[in-house]
Amino acid sequence: MKIRVNRLNDYLFKRIFGSEENSDILVAFLNAVLQPRTEESITSVDLIDRNLDPTFFTDKAARLDILARTRDGRLFNIEVQLLNPYEMERRTLYYWATLYQAQLAEGQHYRDLKPCIAINILGYLAFPDEPGCHHVFELRERSTARLLHDDLRIDFLEVPKFKGNAMGLPLALQRWMLYFAGTSGKTMEDVAMTEPMIKKAITCEEIFLKDQTERRLYFLREKARLDELSLKEGAWREGHRKGMEEGMQEGTRQKALEIARQLLDLLDVATIADKTGLSREEVEKLRLG
């Protein structure tokens, strides 16, 4: 039976994009995101290992980032995030800052710092009210848009927002978005024919899923994701139910207080309390003003 692959599964993503033998796949993806001039295209990357112990593969908090360095020293942190972790903006800034400051050893100069680029591939909508599915953040002056420095760049790719239409994306990035969106069939075959590295990525998927151990770890990560989603939805429903109940109770109380105010000149405290369900103390407070 053919498995419908979730290409945003972080374990699968790490295996395809984060291995030395597939570094050419990562290079093609980075060039599609950055769209550099031909002479500035990335030709190779060195991967910085960020493996997690296998015992954490079912841990919902496990993170499997890819860190890579280009020949000119630029650092890339590529991360897949399926579910909204909240405070994502601060988190990615924190990771960027940690990576940036860690470059300098004692005695080095600020001129030795290299650009750090964070690329977040999202399985949820981080900017639901904004057009486009590729958002690039840089350090620019507010009124003139002058770039302060190109050492900081943070990209967000909202995969669910991409429905196969261009959305202003360069053709190469459109193809990668189709890939991450889980496109299959004739459309994906056509994409693979025009983009060799996507074809290689699909081949790697097929090899990956034939390995019993790898397939098991893939499904463990999928289970952890579904468990986390189920817990979040359950917590939301419970919070919504409690909120409704509390709201109804408060509404009933406010109605009782209004009725009690209307009866203050007609009935005694004990009778008003009995008729409205309020305590005598509450009715006394209304009488006192």
> pLDDT tens across 12-46, in order?
999 999 999 999 999 999 999 999 988 889 999 99
Tally of structural domains, the chain: 2
Amino acid at 51: N
Same domain, 41 and 143: yes
In a domain, 253, yes or no: yes
What pTM was computed for the model? 0.74
In 3-state terms, what secondary structure has residue 57? Answer: coil
Same domain, 191 and 252: no
In whole angstroms, what is the distance from residue 189 CA to residue 104 CA?
45
Look at residue 62 and tell me whether its pLDDT is greater than 60.
no
Which tokens go with 38? 């031909």
Listed residues 194, 210, 226: the one ending a domain: 210
∠ at Cα 180 (192, 116), nearest 5°? 110
In a domain, 228, yes or no: no
pLDDT at 219: 87
In a domain, 234, yes or no: no
Under the banding of pLDDT at 50, 70 and 90, the label for residue 63 is low
* In contact, 63 and 52? CB cutoff 8 Å: yes
> pLDDT tens across 193-245, in order?
999 999 999 999 999 999 998 988 888 888 877 777 676 666 666 665 565 56
In whole angstroms, what is the distance from residue 166 CA to residue 173 CA?
9
pLDDT at 284: 86
Chain CA centroid to CA 7, Å: 14
User: The domain containing residue 283 runs over which residues?
Assistant: 245-288
* In contact, 197 and 25? CB cutoff 8 Å: yes
